[in-house]
């Protein structure tokens, strides 16, 4: 599976900034998750850490894409 298909999302905004930067640098992409948008290459989002559950997430991009 290509690495650019996978992303990671955390409740901590600082960690999400680091994940976005790593994704952009690794795959020469303009963003991973930005505001309400998800990069069109992403097929899987890993919701990292305890209590970070996709079913309880209130972000608009989660609701638009997976709920």
Give pLDDT tens digits along the chain (67 positions).
999 999 999 988 899 999 999 999 999 999 999 888 899 999 999 988 888 888 888 888 888 877 5
Residues 6+ apart with CB under 8 A from 28: none
Entry pTM: 0.83
The domain segmentation of the chain, as residue ranges, is 3-61
Q: What is the pLDDT of residue 7?
A: 94
Q: Which of 42, 66, 64 is nearest to 55 (CA)?
A: 66
Q: What is the pLDDT of residue 4?
A: 95
Is 53:59 a contact under the CB 8 Å cutoff?
A: no
The length of the chain, given as a count of residues: 67
């Amino acid at each position: 599976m290509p690495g650019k298909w996978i992303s990671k999302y955390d409740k901590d905004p600082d960690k999400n900034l680091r994940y976005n930067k790593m994704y952009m640098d690794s795959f020469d992409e303009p963003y991973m998750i930005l505001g309400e948008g998800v990069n069109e290459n992403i097929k899987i989002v890993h919701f990292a850490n305890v209590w970070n559950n996709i079913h309880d997430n209130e972000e608009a991009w989660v609701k638009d894409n997976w709920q």
